[in-house]
A and B are shown apart, each in its own frame.
Chain A
Amino acid sequence: MSTKYAQELSYGFTRQVAPPVRETRIGVCSAYCGECSKLVEDIQSGCAQLQSRKFAQSGGCQLMLAVGIVSSLTNVVIVVHSPLGCCSGFVGTGGVRKTTRATRGKRSEEFVWLHTNMDEQDVVHGGVDKLREAVLYAEREYHPDAIIIANGCVPGIIGDDIDSLATELGGRLSAKLVPVHCEGFKSKYVASGYDSAYHGVLRHLVEPTVKERSAIPDVSEQRDFADRYRISKTVNIFNVGSNSNGDEIELSRILSSLGLIPRVLPLNATLDDLAHIGEAALNVSICATHDDYLLGHLRERFGTPYIIDTLPIGIRSTNRWVRQIAAHFGLQKDAERVIALENEALGAALEPFRKALAGKKVYVGGGETRILTTAAFFKDDLGMELVGVKAHNVDRFVEEIAEELHSPELEITVAAGQPAEEVAVVRRLKPDLYCGHAGANGWISRLGVPNLPLFGMLLNYMGYAGAYELARKAAKAIKNTNFVKNVSANVGLPLSKAWLERDTRLNIKETEQII
């Protein structure tokens, strides 16, 4: 049901305090410049995983990704155990969190985080005492459902034992205490942070509730029967930080049209939602990079089968996503009817955008599953010319998606961030439109190439409605390109002429071990 690779993986890590990093669990390529088909070969042989860079730029940190997941939960307090810089971005995101919750009709809450503010003395003596004070303060002042400890590099290197603290305080708090091990230096594959977050969630927050038995005859039996029926049709859709409420509504709508009961989690969920996470007939991923760790463990724990396949962006990927889910429930015929209906309406609606975009050159950069599905939509459904893609990292989850692109000679760069390389590549390829991850679009604007963001927490990208919105946004971006013209003429790039003219492949080096 899932990609071949997803079926090969095994789990069972939740007895460990911390999850393995993805470098060892999955294997990942984070530096590559070459052809798409060669990359797939090199990943299978293991060569691609042994490359790194001579000139490197700052990418993400697994701490940020881990905290991005758990800080979305309802009524939680985050304790960042680290010096002050880690998660300092929270100072600017309280309002964003409010908006993402409000768009989903969730209760408005003030986001509260604490910081252990580790200093030089703590580096020598350890910071667990401060952490204890912070946890007790959180409990006393805010009575949250959970207190989540995010562990930074410093406590990781000096060996603060946050799990013993959790054990020590466990019985004394009404909040659940959740240690999350997400020290940035431990993994260059920032998506390891998702595993770190879900490891904490799985160990401490997924506790099924015990059903009370009714004293009245048959009541419990009737309820159980109703529950079993509901569960037999329930599909958990696992959301990600980069999707919008519009995406969730659209994917839910499609599954509802098959007579299934969609339920979206774990982001923005309450602890009660997580307690019932096992009550589903099927778990469905929308992005393998995010949640194979969670889905794998949930299968082992609750026996819930899962689908980890494609990301439902664009027509073909959405069709494939729907077909796989429908097949699990034996609803193939219904799925074909839904798909035919949706594709016909969407195909007609896309016509004006095809006219505007066909033949235009496009370049897509960002997370691996997202870029390949988005690129396929631009190429196959809108008739654009795909001139290159850049993936943050590449692992074996995307082998099949890459093959489905049918572009073995497509130029692919693997780089988390690294805008210096990307700018040089895009400058050479001269696309008419660029679609990229946050942090990249500004540099591409300075280069003078019209662009649009690859994702947006308030914009719809997924499903059939998302395909329409994506085409609409792409067409809108080239309706007035004066912003990038003005910026490129007046705001400079710091890159040297020598760098821009050199072959970017020369920046890649072979290493002897996976780093």
Chain B
Amino acid sequence: MGTFIERPKFSCALGGALTTLTGLNRVVPIVHAAGGCANSLSVTYNGAAGYRGVGYCGGSMLPTTNIAENNVVFGGEDRLEEQIENTLFAIDGDLYVVVTGCQVEIIGDDARSIARRFADRNVIAACTPGFIGNTLKGYDAVMTSIVENVIEPSRAKNPKEVNIFGVVPGHDVFYRGNLDEIARLLGLIGARANTFFGTGNSVAQIREYGKAALSVVLAPKTGARPAQRLQELNGAPYILSELPIGPSGTAAFLRQIGSALGIDGKLVESAIASENAYYYDFFGRVVDMYADLDWQRYAITSADSYCAHALTKFVANDLGWIPHLTSINDIESEAEQIEYAKRFDDITSECKPTVVFEQNAGQIIKHVRASWELNRNGKYYDALAPAYVIGSSIDAGLAEKLGASLLTAAFPVSNRVVMNKGYAGFRGGLTLAEDLLSQIVSNR
């Protein structure tokens, strides 16, 4: 059973469903819930995911049954049917996805049956009441429904085609940039990445995703469920991987995928070598100032399991910062915590990070204080400085208390506008280095 959370970095399953659907081209959600759920959740992601926008038919444009107290008493299925029929008339779309809120699931409306009546008109459904869990649960529910109802089973497989799961639009603030870079990278080793949400993707293309021979799940807490379902229905196995950030993370990623697809190791190594050369060709620009001004920092990373390790690895292994403490907010079970902590074995810095699992944002400062000798008014004090917080907008207070710089690199991000920027890959690593170091010189 979950506990209460101080300043959670998630919305609910319905929020996850909506931010996922908003990332799909010409896909129209139909929200069976009280009138405010859809727009409020859309505002969460528009305001806290680098102003990612409302997409094709999001925000106040979201069709909703707008159920009220009388529906809670008498049921809302008739209203849903009317809303679906009218949405099909009013909104052009390639796919309509009915998603449900808490109120209608508690009273037992059967949204899936209603949606099935419209199956021949591209209407599908997913149960996504907030009480089944956070954002990631909503992504899983919607993606599983897409796997079951949209992706056409295919016996013929393209051995070098992979489906990417686990990147949640909006929750990954940089999802567009990240997915485009992942597709580009896999292209370098002769593979084709089906990203669902990348540039130019369409429902017609997603229908063809059954041809992929492999699914890659990039997050530990989401994506495995739809990938598993796809394996059951269509035979493509899945592997667990991680969002690759920067040279060392991306090299490992390419080797893993290359090996899983049976791609010639020489091709993979030559792709890594040329990308690595590209990275250092640009990174070389800052070498002098990095060294002259001492841009090495103590890094405190605060993020969810999707990117906490990947960000830490980048600053430690690639940028040469001291990975002091990493706090992960979304892993509750002890077994999973132990499993996730093992990822940090690949940190190559002399000093290894303290890894904590803390879902209450206000407690992170206590972990930091516990990790470092207090200043007892001695004449000499080895301070935790200069420090840098790599986290989210919620961690602004933490950075302020520590006197540290802050880069919002994980959800929520409300202090900057994100368009095609991404942190994935070699090129994303350059972008991340640019953003991290720009903060240091921003007052010049």
Instruction: Spell out A's residues near B (CB within 8 Å).
Output: 53-64, 79, 82-86, 88-96, 110, 112-123, 130-131, 133-134, 137, 141-142, 153-154, 157-158, 184-188, 190, 416-420, 439-440, 442-443, 492, 494-496, 498-499, 507, 513, 515
Contact of B90 with A496 in the complex, beta carbons under 8 Å: yes
Give A502 Cβ to nearest chain B Cβ, in Å.
9
Contact of A55 with B102 in the complex, beta carbons under 8 Å: no
How far is A439 from B70 in the complex, measured between Cα atoms in Å?
27
Contact of A60 with B61 in the complex, beta carbons under 8 Å: no
Contact of B36 with A117 in the complex, beta carbons under 8 Å: no
> Quick one: which of B131, B392, B415 contacts A122, CB cutoff 8 A?
B131
Contact of A58 with B414 in the complex, beta carbons under 8 Å: no
Contact of A82 with B396 in the complex, beta carbons under 8 Å: no
Q: Using Cβ atoms and an 8 Å threshold, which residues of chain A touch B40? A: 58, 60-61, 63-64, 85-86, 88-89
Given A56-B65, A420-B61 in contact, is the A95-B415 Cβ separation under 8 Å? Answer: yes
Contact of B54 with A55 in the complex, beta carbons under 8 Å: no
Q: List 8 A-B contacts (CB under 8 A).
A: A57-B62, A59-B35, A60-B39, A83-B13, A92-B44, A185-B34, A185-B71, A185-B72
How far is A142 from B1 in the complex, measured between Cα atoms in Å?
25
> Closest chain B residue to A498 by CB distance?
B89
**Residue among A85, A120, A513 with the highest chain B CB neighbour number at 10 A:** A85
Q: Using Cβ atoms and an 8 Å threshold, which residues of chain B touch A495? A: 90-92
Give A257 Cβ to nearest chain B Cβ, in Å.
38
Given A57-B60, A85-B41, A94-B394 in contact, is the A184-B36 Cβ separation under 8 Å? Answer: yes
> Quick one: which of B3, B28, B56 contacts A133, CB cutoff 8 A?
B3
Q: Using Cβ atoms and an 8 Å threshold, which residues of chain B touch A86? A: 12, 40, 130
Q: Which of B79-87, B191-199, B321-329 contacts A (4 or more CB under 8 A)?
A: B79-87
Q: Using Cβ atoms and an 8 Å threshold, which residues of chain B touch A142? A: 362
How far is A137 from B42 in the complex, measured between Cα atoms in Å?
29
Contact of A95 with B393 in the complex, beta carbons under 8 Å: yes
Q: Using Cβ atoms and an 8 Å threshold, which residues of chain B touch A417? A: 39, 60
**In the complex, B382 has a CB within 8 A of chain A:** no
Contact of B34 with A61 in the complex, beta carbons under 8 Å: yes
Contact of A499 with B60 in the complex, beta carbons under 8 Å: no
> Closest chain B residue to A509 by CB distance?
B82
Give B380 Cβ to nearest chain A Cβ, in Å.
31
How far is A110 from B7 in the complex, measured between Cα atoms in Å?
11
**In the complex, B125 has a CB within 8 A of chain A:** no
**In the complex, B220 has a CB within 8 A of chain A:** no
Q: Using Cβ atoms and an 8 Å threshold, which residues of chain A touch B83? A: 54-56
Given A442-B59, A443-B60 in contact, is the A58-B66 Cβ separation under 8 Å? Answer: yes
> Quick one: which of A58, A131, A442, A507 contacts B64, CB cutoff 8 A?
A58
**In the complex, B9 has a CB within 8 A of chain A:** yes
Those of B383-417 within 8 Å (CB) of chain A? 392-394, 396-397, 400, 411-412, 414-415
Q: Using Cβ atoms and an 8 Å threshold, which residues of chain B touch A113? A: 6-7
**Nearest 7 CB-CB pairings of A with B:** A61-B36, A85-B12, A92-B48, A83-B130, A92-B47, A88-B11, A58-B38
Given contacts A92-B414, A494-B57, A499-B90, 9 further A-B contacts (CB under 8 A): A56-B63, A58-B42, A61-B39, A83-B13, A84-B11, A119-B131, A123-B102, A133-B3, A184-B36
**In the complex, B186 has a CB within 8 A of chain A:** no
> Closest chain B residue to A138 by CB distance?
B6
Q: Using Cβ atoms and an 8 Å threshold, which residues of chain B touch A91? A: 7-9, 11, 44, 47-48, 392-394, 411-412, 414
The size bracket of the interface on B is 35 or more
> Quick one: which of B54, B70, B91, B107 contacts A513, CB cutoff 8 A?
B70
Contact of B131 with A419 in the complex, beta carbons under 8 Å: no
Give A110 Cβ to nearest chain B Cβ, in Å.
4
> Quick one: which of A84, A90, A186, A492 contacts B130, CB cutoff 8 A?
A84
Contact of A92 with B412 in the complex, beta carbons under 8 Å: yes
**In the complex, B69 has a CB within 8 A of chain A:** yes
Q: Using Cβ atoms and an 8 Å threshold, which residues of chain B touch A82? A: 130
Contact of A443 with B61 in the complex, beta carbons under 8 Å: yes
Give A103 Cβ to nearest chain B Cβ, in Å.
17
Q: Using Cβ atoms and an 8 Å threshold, which residues of chain A touch B60? A: 57-59, 417-419, 439-440, 443
How far is A420 from B93 in the complex, measured between Cα atoms in Å?
14
> Closest chain B residue to A132 by CB distance?
B4
Contact of B36 with A63 in the complex, beta carbons under 8 Å: yes
Contact of A95 with B2 in the complex, beta carbons under 8 Å: no
Q: Using Cβ atoms and an 8 Å threshold, which residues of chain B touch A120? A: 131-132
Given A59-B39, A417-B39, A419-B61 in contact, is the A119-B132 Cβ separation under 8 Å? Answer: yes
> Quick one: which of A55, A83, A133, A154 contacts B86, CB cutoff 8 A?
A55
Give B359 Cβ to nearest chain A Cβ, in Å.
9
How far is A121 from B133 in the complex, measured between Cα atoms in Å?
11
> Closest chain A residue to B61 by CB distance?
A419
Q: Using Cβ atoms and an 8 Å threshold, which residues of chain B touch A133? A: 3-4
**Residue among B2, B8, B54, B131 with the highest chain A CB neighbour number at 10 A:** B131
> Quick one: which of B4, B57, B63, B89 contacts A115, CB cutoff 8 A?
B4
Give B114 Cβ to nearest chain A Cβ, in Å.
16
Q: Using Cβ atoms and an 8 Å threshold, which residues of chain A touch B397? A: 110
> Quick one: which of B4, B35, B135 contacts A61, CB cutoff 8 A?
B35
Given A61-B34, A84-B12, A420-B90 in contact, is the A89-B44 Cβ separation under 8 Å? Answer: yes
Those of B304-343 within 8 Å (CB) of chain A? none
> Quick one: which of A119, A439, A494 contacts B28, CB cutoff 8 A?
A494
**In the complex, B15 has a CB within 8 A of chain A:** yes
How far is A90 from B11 in the complex, measured between Cα atoms in Å?
10
Given A58-B62, A89-B43, A439-B60 in contact, is the A119-B133 Cβ separation under 8 Å? Answer: yes
Given A57-B64, A86-B130, A137-B6 in contact, is the A153-B414 Cβ separation under 8 Å? Answer: no
How far is A278 from B130 in the complex, measured between Cα atoms in Å?
41
> Quick one: which of B6, B41, B64, B69 contacts A56, CB cutoff 8 A?
B64
> Closest chain B residue to A21 by CB distance?
B69
Give A224 Cβ to nearest chain B Cβ, in Å.
44
How far is A120 from B392 in the complex, measured between Cα atoms in Å?
28
**In the complex, B134 has a CB within 8 A of chain A:** yes
**In the complex, B226 has a CB within 8 A of chain A:** no
Contact of B39 with A58 in the complex, beta carbons under 8 Å: yes
Contact of B47 with A185 in the complex, beta carbons under 8 Å: no
Contact of A185 with B412 in the complex, beta carbons under 8 Å: no
Q: Using Cβ atoms and an 8 Å threshold, which residues of chain A touch B82? A: 54
Those of B7-39 within 8 Å (CB) of chain A? 7-15, 26, 28, 31, 34-39
How far is A27 from B65 in the complex, measured between Cα atoms in Å?
22
> Closest chain A residue to B411 by CB distance?
A91
Q: Using Cβ atoms and an 8 Å threshold, which residues of chain B touch A418? A: 60
**In the complex, B422 has a CB within 8 A of chain A:** no
**In the complex, B267 has a CB within 8 A of chain A:** no
How far is A112 from B64 in the complex, measured between Cα atoms in Å?
31
How far is A416 from B41 in the complex, measured between Cα atoms in Å?
17
Q: Using Cβ atoms and an 8 Å threshold, which residues of chain B touch A84? A: 5, 8, 10-12, 15, 130, 133-135
**In the complex, B129 has a CB within 8 A of chain A:** yes
> Closest chain B residue to A421 by CB distance?
B90
**In the complex, B441 has a CB within 8 A of chain A:** no
Q: Using Cβ atoms and an 8 Å threshold, which residues of chain A touch B31? A: 58
Q: Using Cβ atoms and an 8 Å threshold, which residues of chain A touch B47? A: 89, 91-93
**In the complex, B141 has a CB within 8 A of chain A:** no
Contact of A123 with B10 in the complex, beta carbons under 8 Å: no
**In the complex, B103 has a CB within 8 A of chain A:** yes
**In the complex, B68 has a CB within 8 A of chain A:** yes
How far is A153 from B40 in the complex, measured between Cα atoms in Å?
14
> Quick one: which of A110, A117, A440 contacts B4, CB cutoff 8 A?
A117
> Closest chain A residue to B51 by CB distance?
A92
Q: Using Cβ atoms and an 8 Å threshold, which residues of chain B touch A137? A: 4, 6, 360
Q: Using Cβ atoms and an 8 Å threshold, which residues of chain A touch B37? A: 58, 61, 85, 184
**In the complex, B291 has a CB within 8 A of chain A:** no
**Residue among B4, B57, B62, B65 with the highest chain A CB neighbour number at 10 A:** B4
Contact of B15 with A55 in the complex, beta carbons under 8 Å: no
> Quick one: which of B2, B34, B54, B61 contacts A117, CB cutoff 8 A?
B2
How far is A59 from B72 in the complex, measured between Cα atoms in Å?
18
> Quick one: which of B13, B41, B42, B130 contacts A154, CB cutoff 8 A?
B130
Contact of B39 with A494 in the complex, beta carbons under 8 Å: no
